[in-house]
Structure 1
Amino acid sequence: MSETKIALVTGANKGIGYAIANGLGALGLCVGVGARDEVRRETAVEKLRAAGVDAFGVPLDVTDDRSVTAATELIERRAGRLDVLVNNAGVSGEMDPGWLQDPTTLDLELVRTVVETNVLGVVRVTNALLPLLRRSATPRIVNVSSSVASLTRQADPDIEIGPVMAAYAPSKTFLNAVTVQYARQFADTGILINAACPGLVATDFTGFQGPRTPEQGAATAIRLATLPDGGPTGSFFEDAGVVPW
């Protein structure tokens, strides 16, 4: 079996996901670029390869069982195991001007759509790939979260946390809670799982608003994806350290 570590990054065809894939590739990992759109996925793979990254495309819709099963089978055929899973794919859901999602007028279908990708998609992908992760000597899982997931920060009137986002923000809080449950289940297994906050990054996800570059936003996820044995698990991190729940 190859000694090169194998990673899968979901939603990796652009933005933070692409930057994570590029960063892991620069560290010598072979990176699967998970994405729904074939053209964007293959364009990203070609760009990564041109930069010297050992990359391959993984057709993947995290909301679709068949797609996730097919992606798992592809990785098994190609590598026989998975060392790193970065659950980056996510959606914000439709917002009013100013990134507002008013809880008093919230469309429940919007909530379902956001949770389906941001939470259930993570569970679906993680569970499908667990058999491959268990074959790794150093399995690592990173769930890309957000600072708006922090209930401590959301509830503190002295902290500027941005507009009310009644679908997106709770979906990331839910994701954090699921991350903790996985960490408890993985205790003593060697699987380390953590949540990463990229900060406000200028990508199309944010309408290119934000002071941080995709590379800056990817840094914490890359660090958590390459933790040494005995590293932290079941925690929520940003560049400055631990983010309060």
Structure 2
Amino acid sequence: MTASARAFALFYAASHSHIDVTDAFSTNTDQNKVVMITGANKGIGKEISRLVGREEDSFALLTCRDLSLGREAVLDLRQTSEAEGVEWDGELLPRPLDLDDHESIRQAIGWVEHEYGKIDVLINNAAVCFNSPTLYGRVEHKTFEEQADITMRTNYFGTLEVTERCLPLLERSSSPRIINVASYAGRLAILRSQELVDAFTSETLTVSELSSLMDEFVRCVNDESYTSKGWPTTCYGMSKLGLIALTRVLARQHPDMMVNSVDPGYCCTDQNNNQGPVDAADGAYTPYLLTQMECDEASGEVMSGLHFYEQQEIPWTYEF
């Protein structure tokens, strides 16, 4: 494990109100940690895979929809690492994993179970983004109504299905964790109703209730009542808000797992037509470090149900 990874471990300040994850060190001793990354053929997912595969005790399992692009990514990761004199350990899952295809998800996770028997880390990175005033996805134009359905179905419900199918495999790990790649676009402030804020931040919220809320957003978009009811005008942001809420729910329901969300920053990727000012490699760094951190042995505390940005825990409100 690298020094930077060792530096990224649980540290609770006396107030327990802020965590700087560079203030302590990890004592992880697991070997051959299987880290599965969705949407890993390019951008942030590929860069996370690069960092994970260079850890001596970690194995990067890349997944994507287009296997030809995935093979190109793996070849590049191996060649660039070799050119730098670094060993990279990983492979492409030889089944497409499409968040919008139930059978694709079933077959992909089934292959992982057959070949590896477990997953130590699941990184939910794959997502779809459509053109909007602030988001520049390279996709054909869709109406806002079409965007709402596709975006929630893919980014939230597809990610949820992958996660639920992976849970039995994660439970076989000695140190399981889920890392959800979220975004500033999913900050609480996009909700314009206190009732909605209260619903999404409720400490008793369940996955079923959360999914109903996500469905309600799509229904309100379809009947054009979403603005009057306090819903946001961004489908991508709404999907990421749901993902952060899901992180908190899963952390409560699975106290033996580390379940966290992370904002990689506005990275230069195809998703925003390469307009982001942050290099994808920099955006990948905090998710990568979350794969390596461990709980604090002294306190027994587990870093879970939290949201991170630039190696620190931050509030979901983004108010510092």
TM-score bin, normalised by smaller chain? 0.7 to 0.9
Partner of 1:186: 254
Q: How many residues are matched?
A: 230
Q: Is the 8 A contact 2:286 2:311 kept in 1?
A: no
RMSD: 2.2
Match of 2:62 in 1: 33
Percentage identity across paired residues of the two chains: 34
User: Offset at 1:231?
Assistant: 3.5
**What CA distance in whole angstroms lies between the structure 2 residues aligned with 1:35 and 1:238?**
25
AA at the equivalent of 2:88: V
Deviations 1:12-36 (A, max 9, x none): 0000000011111111311111101
Question: Residue 221 of structure 1: CA displacement?
Answer: 0.7
Q: Equivalent residue for 1:9? A: 37
1:99 counterpart (135, 144, 153): 135
| Secondary structure of residue in 2 paired with 1:232 | coil
CA positional deviation for 1:144: 0.2
Q: Is the 8 A contact 2:99 2:155 kept in 1?
A: no
Distance (Å, rounded) in 2 between the aligned partners of 1:49 and 1:137: 28
* Among 154, 164, 170, the residue aligned to 1:133: 170
In structure 2, the residue corresponding to 1:48 is in which secondary structure? helix
Of 228, 240, 253, which aligns to 1:172? 240
For the structure 1 residues 46 and 73, does the alpha-carbon distance in structure 2 shift closer, same or farther, using more than 3 Å as the test? Answer: same
Quick check: 1:144–1:198 contact (8 Å CA) kept in 2? yes
Alpha-carbon contact 1:84-1:140 (below 8 Å) kept = yes
8 Å CA contact 1:150, 1:244 repeated in 2:
no
Match of 2:180 among 140, 143, 148: 143
2:52 and 2:288 in contact (8 A); partners too: yes
- Indicate if the aligned counterparts of 1:93 and 1:113 stay in contact, CA closer than 8 A: no
User: 1:107 deviation in Å?
Assistant: 2.5
| Map of 2:115 onto structure 1 | 78
Determine which structure has more spread, i.e. the larger CA radius of gyration: 2
Return the offset for 1:243.
2.7
Give 1:165 shift.
5.4
**1-structure distance, mates of 2:163, 2:143:** 29
Indicate yes or no: 2:78 matched with 1:42.
Answer: no
- 1:173–1:32 CA distance, 2 compared to 1 (3 A): same
Gaps spanning 5+ residues in structure 2: where? 1-29, 82-86, 137-141, 193-231, 296-300
Unmatched 5+ residue regions in structure 1?
156-163
Q: Secondary structure at the match of 1:85?
A: strand
Pairing 1:196–2:262 present: yes
- SS of the aligned residue for 1:32 comes to strand
* Match in the other structure for 1:159: none
* Greater mean alpha carbon deviation, residues 10-19 or residues 198-207: 198-207
Q: CA–CA distance in 1 between the matches of 2:276 and 2:257?
A: 33
Q: CA deviation at 1:154?
A: 7.9
CA distance in structure 2 between the aligned counterparts of 1:210 and 1:231, rounded to whole angstroms: 33
